[in-house]
Structure 1
Amino acid sequence: MSDELLVVRAQLGNRSALEDLVARWQGPVWLYVRRMLDAERADDVAQEAWIAVVRALPRLREPDRFAPWLFTIVRRAALNRLRGQYSDRHDLVGGFGNGLDRPDAAGPDPVDALVDRAEMVGRLAALPVLEREVLVLHYLEDLSVEDCAQVCAVPAGTIKSRLNRARRMLREHVEEEGELT
């Protein structure tokens, strides 16, 4: 059964359809959150996101766009947790930028050198939030540039810029590791 049909049935009150939808997307949601946050917070944030999804599902007007809509909510939950973390650090340190409002800049080259997915996930943790997020959504969650733009609430051109910058940063990180070993 398609996501669209499950969404419509869930909106009509079919509990089984909602359970099927959650079962289908629970893994990808948790993996996305885990890639954005540490393991300690991933379970809580994923659960918070699912609560928000269930509450908002009746208002979803385009059931065929469920995946981008879902990841928009999950992204918001993860960013809220990160903002809380950065806010706490700001209070403790007396001034700490969260990097969420940096201007975008384009950069070259793809991430083709990273064949091993687990290795890539480990390297993603070293990237700033915006760059990590766009790589996770595009390459690991297989969302199109347009869907990533919808999830992140930015133009597609911004996503392309972030992807290029993230690829460059990841490449530089890989090259630095190569020089160290």
Structure 2
Amino acid sequence: MDDELLVVRCQLGEREAFAELVGLWHAPVWTFVRRMLDEQRADDVAQEIWVAVLRGLPRLADPGRFTPWLFTIARRTVLNRLRHEYTVTETPGGAEEPSAGDLAEEVVERNELISALAGLPATEREILILFYLEDLSIEDCAQICAIPVGTVKSRLHRARRLLRDHLVERGYQP
């Protein structure tokens, strides 16, 4: 309900409301983008997303659907960036594995998970991120990705299997 009120205030032209909205949603949006791209590109793409949100807010018909709308913009922006990079270079640039260095075992395991996640195809990776890490419903994931609910479920199943296979390959037990 707070998001809905902030969106309405933004639509009425309150700059402070937009600053509050960005304050609430910047971290989740940036985290989603970071999980799809590397850190350097995530900053640029996050800025593009907020510019698109600012431009599109007046046209948002249902302020109660702000979250799926926001992640739809984020998804499109990420895909546009990836498409552009794929056309510019012959070898697509994926997310880089963060360096684990000489850190605690927990950090190494987290890096393994990030690496495994980065190794998934983009469609499966985005569904895992939206569903598990952004905690969105299957219906919201379907709306954001503009695919049927059944497709979300099948992508989730395939993504979990691919992730499990990758981790087992690296010596982790299921």
Alignment TM-score > 0.5, same fold:
yes
Encode CA deviations 1:112-150: one digit per residue, 9 max, x unaligned: xxxx76653332111110011000000000000000001
Bigger relative CO (Cα 8 Å, ≥ 6 apart): 1
- The verdict on how the C-alpha distance between 1:142 and 1:119 changes in structure 2, with shifts beyond 3 A counting, is farther
Alignment match, 2:152:
159
Structure 1 stretches of 4+ with a deviation exceeding 6 A read: none
TM-fit CA distance, 1:60: 0.4
TM-fit CA distance, 1:89: 2.6
The answer to whether residue 58 in structure 2 is matched with residue 58 in structure 1 is yes
Instruction: Report the Cα distance in structure 2 between the residues aligned to 1:4 and 1:151, rounded to whole angstroms.
Output: 18
Q: 1:143 aligns with which of 127, 133, 136?
A: 136
Alignment match, 1:174:
167
Encode CA deviations 1:66-106: one digit per residue, 9 max, x unaligned: 1100000011110001001111234xx7xx8xxxxxxxxxx
TM-fit CA distance, 1:16: 1.0
Instruction: Report the Cα distance in structure 2 between the residues aligned to 1:64 and 1:135, rounded to whole angstroms.
Output: 24
Alignment match, 1:87:
87
Alignment match, 1:20:
20
Q: 2:125 aligns with which of 120, 132, 137?
A: 132
Q: Secondary structure at the match of 1:178?
A: coil
Instruction: Report the Cα distance in structure 2 between the residues aligned to 1:117 and 1:14, rounded to whole angstroms.
Output: 40
Could you tell me which runs of 5 or more consecutive residues in structure 1 were left unpaired when the two chains were aligned.
97-115
**Percent of aligned pairs with the same amino acid:** 63
TM-score, reference length from structure 1: 0.81
Calculate the aligned-residue CA RMSD, in Å. Answer: 1.7
- The verdict on how the C-alpha distance between 1:19 and 1:152 changes in structure 2, with shifts beyond 3 A counting, is same
In the alignment of these two chains, the number of paired residues is 156
Could you tell me which runs of 5 or more consecutive residues in structure 2 were left unpaired when the two chains were aligned.
93-108
TM-score, reference length from structure 2: 0.85
Q: Secondary structure at the match of 2:120?
A: coil
TM-fit CA distance, 1:40: 1.7
Instruction: Report the Cα distance in structure 1 between the residues aligned to 2:69 and 2:40, rounded to whole angstroms.
Output: 25
Instruction: Report the Cα distance in structure 2 between the residues aligned to 1:10 and 1:162, rounded to whole angstroms.
Output: 35
Alignment match, 1:78:
78
